[in-house]
Each structure stands twice: as structure tokens, then as C-alpha cells.
Amino acid sequence: MLLQAEREQVVEYGKAMIERGLTVGTFGNLSVYNEKENLFAISPSGMDYFKTEPADVVVMTPDGEKVDGDRKPSSEVDMHRIFYQKRPGIRSVVHTHSRFATTLACLGLGIPPLHYLIAYAGREVPCTPYVQFGTYELAQCALDTMGESYACLLGNHGLLACGGNISYTMDVAEQIEFCAELCYRARAVGEPKLLKDDEIGVVLESFKSYRQK
């Protein structure tokens, strides 16, 4: 099976998205890129994550050509492939509808540096304007808004995360959802005290050696 390992990861982490409360039903999507083959495996459109098998996962080129799999790929395929085309080092993309991140996205609010774990994504998590789902325009908007960071909110939609492997990308999605909840709760009481740019810079540097190799 073409890209078997990557397809198995899509199945495994698709279930994890549900188990970690990062999305509901068949919504959200994820992909894993194989740089050597210049192909990526992406979740199929509208399938129950717990009924998805590796053979259901679709294999695509970064140019959008389907090369293996009988299923229809996620409607957000453009939002995955654009990162593999234009962000060197990105090998996984995860899109969730996690509740607090989506709540802030529906308010048009990004997440400021109110907690050091924001550094999983960068110095802050910006929010895009609303753009119709499943379009190349949304993909380009997400890429532009995220810049060199690893997450952004999609206006009136959800959360997008990326990273060098699927494990890290899922961590980004989970930690940014945690920060989104903190932001929501803090703003319900008052204005959160934000970390300074140099304080976040120290955390960004320390995170380079935080995870196991």
C-alpha cells in the first residue's frame, strides 16, 4: 500500500482528535507528508474516524493530484497541500473544530501571549477573516495569516495547526485549544496579563530542546 505508514498515522491520530475533544463527528481533517516521495496522506471526506481504515485514507501530490485511494479526500485538501508546497519542514497539518478555539474564531479574536504554552505555535495565534470552507482562497488566507508560526484560527470556522511531524502537530492543536480556553475564561473576568515579547522569546528557545528526539 502506498504510504502505508502515513495512512496508519492518519487513522490513529484521527481517532485521537475525537478522544482529545478536538473535534466532533466527522468534522476536522488531518494529513501527513512524506518528503522523500513528495506525497501526502489525507483523511477522507465525511467518514467516521473510528470506521476509517488505512485503505480509506487518500494519497495526494502537493499539486492536488490523487494518486492512490478510492475515497474522496477531505474538502480542505487545498489547506493541507499549500503548506507542503510553500512551508519547508512542514510534514503534517491538522484542522480541528475544538470548542474554545472555534468560539474565539467566531468572535474574530486571535489568542495573545497570555500563557507560555502559546509558544507551541509562536508568539501569538492570529485569526483569519471568514473565508468559505473548502476553497483555495481559505488555504491561501491561512498560509498568509499563520506566517512562520504553527497555528492560526480560521475566522468563524476553527483551528489550523502544522508541524514537522504528526505527533508535534497534534500537540500544537491540543495546547492551543488549552490557551484558547484560558483566553475565553480570562476575558470573562477581565483583561489577561500578557507575557512580554522577550519572555515569550525565552520560551521559544527552550522549547527547541523540550521534546524527546
For the annotated catalytic residues, the residue numbers are: 76
Q: Which residues contact 167 (CB under 8 A, 6 or more apart)?
A: none
Maximum Cα interatomic distance, the chain, rounded to a whole number of Å: 54
Instruction: Match 525565552 to its residue by C-alpha cell.
Output: 202
Q: Which residues contact 84 (CB under 8 A, 6 or more apart)?
A: 33, 40, 62, 90, 91, 93
- CA dist 179 and 152 (Å) reads 12
Cell numbers representing residue 200 in the block: 515569550
For the chain, list the strands marked E by DSSP: 29-34, 39-42, 58-60, 66-68, 92-96, 151-154, 158-163
Best CA proximity match to 110, nearest among 141, 146, 138, 61:
146
- CA dist 149 and 129 (Å) reads 17
